[in-house]
Chain A
């Protein structure tokens, strides 16, 4: 499988000394629907902004569809569409004009049929000729999506495209992205809606504190890294000090619940008994005990907690 994007040793230290990326390596397969996840401040947007050419990297290399991103910017930019996280719009023009201008700046004569389709699919047709200042927040965000797609890019990067977009619209937006993906467009997205990522994406990478924690297929992550968790529920909130005594089970506290990770040994037996015994020894008898299969959110929280320094 060829890679749409290969990132090697990418670092970025901002002028104020903040280290946003400390050597990220990442490969995004061509044609994939790729989720890039991480808590706030993990470095996701910095990575995307470097790809979009709005931030300069400190060091590192990026190959885009087999071309060097930094030395062949024009070639790469013509095939890349980016939806930025922060809402931005041109206050001087209406959406239809903005799309024509965007297309022109990419060196593409505006394809009116495609612009109409974009406006229609993103439910902006009614507002196409109003000034962008009159659009609501959700509409402006959809306009950003349309702007990123207007030159028909091979790779689309969406940095939290659904923040502030209502459920129904979000579903339709994802439906549209799925169609594009089915037609061969590689899609990389960041989102805080992990359920959506789990449902949509076939690949996932998790970054935290500027480092890559894992990158693999969604199935692979949920099967190998994702395990099951023992959940003990207590009458009162679980004290944080207990975490240090249960480190063998990668514990995580959520108010009055504690989650312990269950791992399988070579013979396929998991360590349920050991975890259970350890927990009641440290915390006492629980009110209720259950076992949950980890979903993406659990894996995400566990991995990012484990690597908290």
Chain B
């Protein structure tokens, strides 16, 4: 293993977003705050049906997780996209880094960005509620897995996209619908039965629900089933990134 090289790439990918904090950390925090203000006034003190938690408390973990996932995706996809457009991915290919080391560094940086965003959001939002941490391990597990899955999808999307249009397509037609329909804003129990079933095929649903479970101690999914599904999805994502990078898919054609 070229640990030092892997570490260098990880720190490059992390410094890239730390250099533009306004865009990568402050902006997502502001967006989330605006969502909350709007929902706070729209929903008032209402509770989520069947779950018996204030809607406001229900919303915060979902928004935090959604921001984490979007930021993890943005970190890897934009890096690879800019690398392609600036022709700078060649430096990565010329360096003695194996596909596994590259994957590790990229995903590591995605998780780092997601967690920094999460901490900032929680520091801003939690003072407005009486929410507290119920299961830290669940928050960490779903946070890490969610960021890895989305960071990995960002890597694959970055490799696949030839232009910014391709990337926008991916973002608007796959990532956005999956995040919006994953139960950030509602409990699936509020949905008709048939839609509840559909939701169970959305991997993001398990991530958001599990993450929220860590804060509220209630959820829509069976925890052991969710852990199994999320673990498998995480490993599959890592494996796919590793193998695609190794073959030079759409990079070395």
Contacts and interface: CB of A to CB of B under 8 A. Distances in A.
Interface stretch (B82-90, B171-179, B184-192): B82-90
B16 A88 contact: no
B94 interface: yes
B18 to A, nearest CB: 10
A53 interface: yes
Given A104-B5, A104-B7, A89 B86 contact: yes
B82 A105 contact: no
A259 B171 CA distance: 61
A268 interface: no
Interface string B86-117: 11101111111110000000000000000000
Nearest to A92: B16
Contacts of B90: 52, 54, 84, 88
Nearest to B19: A92
B87 A107 contact: no
B224 interface: no
Interface string A72-112: 01100110101010111111110000000110111111000
Contact of A105 (B9, B15, B86, B88): B9
Contact of A107 (B86, B88, B96): B96
B2 interface: yes
Interface residues of B, number: 27
Contacts of B91: 88, 90, 102, 105, 147
B97 A91 contact: no
Contact of B5 (A14, A91, A107, A147): A107
Given A82-B94, A91-B86, A101 B8 contact: yes
B49 interface: no
B12 interface: yes
Contacts, number: 77
Contacts of A73: 96
Given A74-B2, A91-B82, A106 B87 contact: no
A56 interface: yes
B86 A106 contact: no
A52 B93 CA distance: 8
Interface string A44-70: 000000001111100000000000000
A74 B252 contact: no
A120 B222 CA distance: 63
Contacts of B86: 88-91
B253 interface: yes
Contacts of B12: 93, 101, 105
B113 to A, nearest CB: 14
A93 B13 CA distance: 11
Nearest to B88: A88
Question: Which secondary structure dominates chain A's binding surface?
Answer: loop
Nearest to B102: A105
Contacts of A102: 91, 95
Contacts of A147: 91
B253 A105 contact: no
A147 B19 CA distance: 22
B94 A77 contact: yes
A87 B98 CA distance: 24
Nearest to A81: B94
Contacts of B248: 56
B4 interface: yes
A75 to B, nearest CB: 8
Interface in B1-25: 2, 4-5, 7-9, 11-12, 15-16, 19
B19 A105 contact: no
A106 B88 contact: no
A102 B91 CA distance: 8
Contacts of A14: 253
A237 B193 CA distance: 85
A106 B88 CA distance: 16
A109 B94 contact: no
B252 A105 contact: no
29 contacts: A15-B253, A52-B93, A54-B90, A54-B93, A54-B94, A54-B252, A56-B252, A56-B253, A73-B96, A74-B98, A77-B94, A77-B96, A82-B94, A86-B87, A87-B87, A88-B86, A88-B91, A90-B86, A91-B86, A91-B88, A92-B19, A101-B12, A102-B95, A104-B4, A104-B5, A104-B7, A104-B11, A105-B9, A105-B97
7 nearest A-B pairs in the assembled complex, by CB-CB distance = A104-B8, A77-B96, A88-B87, A105-B95, A74-B96, A107-B2, A107-B5
Given A53-B94, A88-B90, A105-B92, 17 more contacts: A52-B94, A54-B90, A54-B93, A54-B252, A80-B94, A87-B87, A88-B87, A90-B88, A93-B15, A101-B8, A101-B12, A104-B4, A104-B9, A105-B5, A106-B96, A109-B4, A147-B91
